[in-house]
Amino acid sequence: MSNTSALSGIGQDDLAKIMTLEQGKVLEEARGEVAYGAAYIEWFAEEAKRIYGDVLPSMSQDRRSLVIKQPIGVVGAITPWNFPVAMITRKVAPALAAGCSIVLKPATETPLSVLAIAELAQRAGVPSGMFNVIPGMNAVQIGEQLTGHSLVKKVTFTGSTRVGKILMAQAAQTVKRTSMELGGNAPVLVFDDADIDKAVDGALAAKFRNAGQTCICTNRILVQSAVYEEFLSKFTKKVQEFVIGDGLDKSSTMGPLITRTAVNGVSSLVEDALNKGAKLTTGTKPITDDSLESEVGFFYQPTVIRDADQSMRIAKEEVFGPVVPIFKFETDDDAIAMANDTEFGLAAYVFTKDQSRSWRVSEGLEYGMVGVNETAISSEVIPFGGVKESGQGREGSKYGLEDYLEMKYICLGDV
């Protein structure tokens, strides 16, 4: 474990600084994530008091039927780099609240934030052996151990759909319970009756947080034809105001991407869209590896693509960077069909002032979470999670504890 004296008096600002240095997001966002992550600890500490059992109607005079909830057992957890604090507390807090010990492997890129949290947990009195961190670059072997070991009873994972499927297949060999928080492809639907300024601000906030590297990021914006040009011009203007730079520099409003591979991935989606007829309203034309090295580093200019269509890779794939394609639609049914035309189903957002439309569209969207006239939808109080290939299980809220508990039926005879 890390050097205790070096962490003496560590607080929100220190954790935020560690996060910005290892992950890149701007300091203000990192501070926000620390608070968001801490909220899960408080929430589940309170929820631990509400793990209720049940007394059921008896089938006969001499019997009583009860249900008790017990900790599921040792939890194996694997987490990503994009939220190096919140993705950890979302798993560790409910595990400890349920009475489970947890063994957690953080992403290779961001081990320091979790080690700092583990140190704080130890100082706060979490008993030794309850919260264990295994940083390591051998993800495959660690994953095999966690999914294959007979003592581990549950595997919880946040990361890509590709890796989630591997872990589910491995965990199936010993029939472990799994929770999977996987990739997303969030659409923002802007209808012609929407408050366009509100839609611009909402889509913008949901797109560019963490330089576009969040699972509930705006991945696609679908705009009704009558307001397409108005939305596009207002949105583009605001995107041009971002200041890209070092996350520790107070003037920066957007930091770098996590790796050069990430920059290349985003760049290739842009190139594909432009080759198929889309146009840039602002941002970077595709850039080569050489120029990345010398001029751009891991930074990518915020980019808006107009005239996008369903034939483009960017319509189906998770962008995970500061690029957004804008599509046009005519009817509500078209918008719902386009929004659902993806294997992902994590978050979707709708902007309309029409109450009946907001109900109809929300019910038609195949997503685990829908924000209507709001894109800041996440908190410790709500059930966070997706459907389809975005995963299974929910984190946070009163539902988030159930995944860490086993239900046991007890029949008392001879009463």
> Where does this chain bind ligand NAP (CB under 6 A)?
78-83, 87, 105, 107-108, 137, 139-140, 143, 158-160, 163, 166-167, 181-184, 215, 318, 346, 386, 391
Question: Measured from the CB of residue 356, what is the shortest distance to ligand NAP in angstroms?
Answer: 30
Q: Distance between CA 34 and CA 333 in Å, rounded? A: 40
Using CA atoms of 242, 243, 247, 251 in order, give the dihedral in degrees to the nearest 10: -120
The answer for residues whose C-beta is within 8 angstroms of residue 367's C-beta and 6 or more apart is 186, 339, 345, 346, 347, 348, 386, 387, 390
Tokens 């801490």, residue located: 38
CA-CA distances (angstroms) from residue 288 to 198, 254, 263, 272, 321?
36, 22, 10, 14, 17
> In the complex with ligand NAP, which residue's Cβ is closer, 105 or 220?
105
> In the complex with ligand NAP, which residue's Cβ is closer, 146 or 232?
146
3-state secondary structure string across 135-171: CCCCHHHHHHHHHHCCCEEEEEEECCHHHHHHHHHHH
Question: Measured from the CB of residue 267, what is the shortest distance to ligand NAP in angstroms?
Answer: 17
Query: And the tokens for 304?
Result: 């808006």
> In the complex with ligand NAP, which residue's Cβ is closer, 44 or 329?
44
| Selected catalytic residue, list 47, 215, 380, 389 | 215
| Selected catalytic residue, list 29, 33, 181, 395 | 181
Q: Please, are residues 362 and 340 in contact by the beta-carbon 8 Å criterion? A: no
Question: Measured from the CB of residue 164, what is the shortest distance to ligand NAP in angstroms?
Answer: 7
Give the closest residue to 182 by CA, choosing from 166, 196, 162, 203.
162
Question: Measured from the CB of residue 160, what is the shortest distance to ligand NAP in angstroms?
Answer: 3
Strand partners, 407: 69
Q: Please, are residues 67 and 90 in contact by the beta-carbon 8 Å criterion? A: no
> In the complex with ligand NAP, which residue's Cβ is closer, 143 or 325?
143
> In the complex with ligand NAP, which residue's Cβ is closer, 12 or 145?
145
| Residue 215 is a catalytic residue | yes
> In the complex with ligand NAP, which residue's Cβ is closer, 29 or 318?
318
> In the complex with ligand NAP, which residue's Cβ is closer, 71 or 321?
321
Give the closest residue to 203 by CA, choosing from 70, 351, 335.
351
Q: Distance between CA 45 and CA 405 in Å, rounded? A: 15
Q: How many CB atoms lie within 10 A of CB 187?
A: 27
Which residue's C-beta sits nearest to ligand NAP?
A: 143
Question: Measured from the CB of residue 260, what is the shortest distance to ligand NAP in angstroms?
Answer: 14
| DSSP result, 326-361 | EEEE-SHHHHHHHHH-SS--SEEEEE-S-HHHHHHH
Question: Measured from the CB of residue 19, what is the shortest distance to ligand NAP in angstroms?
Answer: 14
Q: How many CB atoms lie within 10 A of CB 169?
A: 10
Question: Measured from the CB of residue 334, what is the shortest distance to ligand NAP in angstroms?
Answer: 26
> In the complex with ligand NAP, which residue's Cβ is closer, 87 or 221?
87
Question: Measured from the CB of residue 113, what is the shortest distance to ligand NAP in angstroms?
Answer: 13
**CB-count burial class (<10 Å; 0-12, 13-18, 19+) for 62:** exposed
Q: Please, are residues 397 and 47 in contact by the beta-carbon 8 Å criterion? A: no
Please work out, in degrees rounded to the nearest 5, the angle formed at the alpha carbon of residue 343 by the alpha carbons of 210 and 403.
75
Query: And the tokens for 317?
Result: 């794939």
Residues classed as catalytic: 181, 215
